[in-house]
Structure 1
Amino acid sequence: MFKQLQDKHQLSILLIFSIVSVFGITPFIIIRFIENNIVAALIDLAIVSSILTLVGYAHYTKKPRVISAVIALLVNISVIAIIITNGINSMLWIYPVVAVTFFLVKPIEALILTLSNVAIIASIPNLFDAIPLNSYFTTNLMLAACAFVYACFGNKQLALLAELNSTDPLTGALNRRALNDDTLAAISRAERYNSTYLLAFLDLDFFKKVNDEFGHAEGDRVLKQLVSITNSHIRESDKLYRFGGEEFVLIIPEIPSKEQVSFINKLRETIKNELKTPTGNSITVSFGVAAWVPGTTVASWFKRADDAMYQAKKQGRDCAVFSKD
């Protein structure tokens, strides 16, 4: 979920950057052609054309991370080229380049790229006859430091937003929004690599009695403890989602067919042994499980797991039923 949100955020940044670049650089292309500064004009034209092409490609492939890194490298090399060509007249371009680099790549990558760029420009002969070298270093380092702090803070905020966007606030399990995205991703991966996937519906048995006898606060505790127990007994690649109320969903990838039944039943028994009411009685769960098969859609996969859950309830609960379809 975080990667999806990060990609959407990065695509938006690339789009805004391309628009700003066109409106910011195009007038200089025209001016330099008029002034017969052909080399500088062609460099600017190449920069704008490359940015538009790369941003378009990023939106087409929906993979902005690599393209952002390429653009960051491009603009840093370009500012060196234009300063070598125009000298002191183009020195101010380094400041927007420093700023935009921190929008395009990770903060530490941007810092390394910026410091390298600043050092290379400082080595250009005769460039600092008109301006003090210490002022150049100080202003660029201050800008880089501020941009670095801002970028780090922004990344933390984005990660927090992704967590809030995909996590159930009561239990800490992933929510239905994350479930929808991850189910589509699981089907796509299963179709591409013929991977094995299980979709398991998990339902607390007689949960209403817990609420009625012990109150909703105790019911909330049971839900949170269920998530804690389940997460501590599944693999890192397995994901637990709260579907609604006392219903949960597990997506279990890459589990051999001969181990599927034992895996689910072991988890069911573990929950039964560890999840208790305040009086010490076990709280049981029922499972409805459906394996991915070719031609599966989100709707059909959910229906097969739901039908299996219905059979588990019909058989008396505290059991796991696997879909035969």
Structure 2
Amino acid sequence: MRTFWPRLKDDFQLSIITLVGLLAVVGVSPYAVFRLGEGSWLVGATDTFLVVSTLLAVVYAWRTGDTIRPGQFLALIYSTGAFLVSAKLGANGLFWMYVLILFNFFVVPPLQSLIATMSTLVAICVYGWLHPERVFESHYQMASFVVTCLLSGLFAFVFAHRARVQRRLLARQATIDPLTGIGNRRTMDAELDIAMADSKRYGIDFGLLVLDLDYFKQINDRFGHGIGDQVLVDFVDCVREVCRPSDRLFRLGGEEFVLLVPKADLNSLKAIAEHIQQRVRTQLLRPDGAPVTASIGGSLLRGHADRDGWLKHADECMYDAKRAGRDQTVIRPLAPNRAVAATEGPDYHQ
């Protein structure tokens, strides 16, 4: 129960599918019972199939975290159900088409929802045209139905498309550092958790580098924050030029960055760190022509029980590099039975 509400709040698609499941049980189940009771077997079976399929899709979404496939499955099932109910009940079944429009545009991507909705609308109209008075009492009624469905679909499409754009923007703002375009602390925490899980499952070792620009405060104080921001952007470019495609770079905060290196050992991790320092030293210059340097600390995942301890150990090594004179690399394995704690000491972010 502790994870139920957070997942609903954080995953919009999952919340919609769950809500649909609840509404299907509460709203459609009585119709299924009523239709079966009066002997309308086709419609009753259709309603029952919709309820069961919805519940299975909700369970699948919760168990796997995948909301795309359940949404597509339900869009197909509901579109088929809307057609069958309309063909069987006539005008009384057409009202479910408006529910289908709203569901499709909120659960599946706009183009897919447009295809599903328009296909169902065309199928109903063709069936109604071929079977006069079975679905529509007149061509005027069919035309009114088409116009209202198209208008409802248009409004739903615009709203759903805008909502998707805003959700993507919010998700990007929550996970990407706006200045440098790399992952932020939240993204880093998630990636480190994944790395630890992969290490336990597949035996892959990971390395972690904490990179801190030397005397960055002096750059901001002397040349302004605009120049300081540009130095950070250029620093990220330098690191990316050195990194492998599988390496992940994050901004921890201020002028401090973290590089996650998969399939690493002490020698390879040190080689990457020294390569980064050389590239930064030779390519990244202050406005007065002085080189920008970085102090780097590193640690392997092996021996750490959690990501916070792993990160603290690498951060301690970075502070040791600062104490050693800056523009240095300190990488060491975790000593046996050593508790990793945050280091309190002088401010080396100068």
User: What range describes the TM-score normalised by the shorter chain of this pair?
Assistant: 0.7 to 0.9
Contact 1:7 1:64 in 2 (8 A): no
Opposite residue 261 of structure 1, the aligned amino acid is: K
In the alignment, is residue 44 of structure 1 matched against residue 47 of structure 2? yes
SS of match in other structure, 1:123: helix
Where structure 2 has 5 or more consecutive residues not aligned to the other structure, the ranges are: 1-6, 335-350
1:113 is aligned to 116
Change (3 A) 1:294 1:101: farther
**Could you tell me which of 112, 125, 130 is aligned with 2:137?**
130
Change (3 A) 1:194 1:6: farther
Q: Which runs of 4+ in 1 moved over 6 A?
A: 4-7
Change (3 A) 1:284 1:6: farther
2:347 is aligned to none
In the alignment, is residue 245 of structure 1 matched against residue 268 of structure 2? no
Percent identity among equivalent residues? Answer: 32
Matches of 1:10 and 1:254 in 2, distance apart?
Answer: 35
2:164 is aligned to 155
Opposite residue 288 of structure 1, the aligned amino acid is: G
1:179-218 aligned at under 5 Å gives the runs 179-218=188-227
2:74 is aligned to 71
Q: Could you give the per-residue CA deviations for residues 100-150 of structure 1, whole angstroms, max 9, x where no partner exists?
A: 111111111212222222233233241455142444443333333333333
Contact 1:288 1:307 in 2 (8 A): yes
Opposite residue 68 of structure 1, the aligned amino acid is: G
Matches of 2:123 and 2:92 in 1, distance apart?
Answer: 17
SS of match in other structure, 1:195: coil
1:230 is aligned to 239
Change (3 A) 1:245 1:78: same
Contact 1:205 1:317 in 2 (8 A): yes
Q: Could you give the per-residue CA deviations for residues 244-303 of structure 1, whole angstroms, max 9, x where no partner exists?
A: 222111123356876443333222211122222221101100111223337642123213
Matched length: 322
Where structure 1 has 5 or more consecutive residues not aligned to the other structure, the ranges are: none
Matches of 1:103 and 1:299 in 2, distance apart?
Answer: 38
Opposite residue 114 of structure 2, the aligned amino acid is: L
Opposite residue 98 of structure 1, the aligned amino acid is: I
Q: Could you give the per-residue CA deviations for residues 75-111 of structure 1, whole angstroms, max 9, x where no partner exists?
A: 1122223223323321221221122111111111212
Opposite residue 179 of structure 1, the aligned amino acid is: M
Matches of 1:262 and 1:9 in 2, distance apart?
Answer: 43
In the alignment, is residue 278 of structure 1 matched against residue 287 of structure 2? yes
Q: Could you give the per-residue CA deviations for residues 38-84 of structure 1, whole angstroms, max 9, x where no partner exists?
A: 43233213312321232133123322222222222221122223223
Q: Could you give the per-residue CA deviations for residues 172-206 of structure 1, whole angstroms, max 9, x where no partner exists?
A: 43221111112112222333333343221001112
Matches of 2:193 and 2:51 in 1, distance apart?
Answer: 37
Contact 1:82 1:90 in 2 (8 A): yes
Matches of 1:277 and 1:310 in 2, distance apart?
Answer: 23
TM-score (norm 2): 0.81
In the alignment, is residue 22 of structure 1 matched against residue 25 of structure 2? yes
2:90 is aligned to 87
Change (3 A) 1:34 1:107: same
Matches of 1:303 and 1:322 in 2, distance apart?
Answer: 13
Cα RMSD between the aligned structures?
A: 2.8
Higher helix share: 1
TM-score (norm 1): 0.86
1:164 to partner: Cα distance = 1.2
1:102 is aligned to 105
Matches of 1:153 and 1:107 in 2, distance apart?
Answer: 10
SS of match in other structure, 2:172: helix
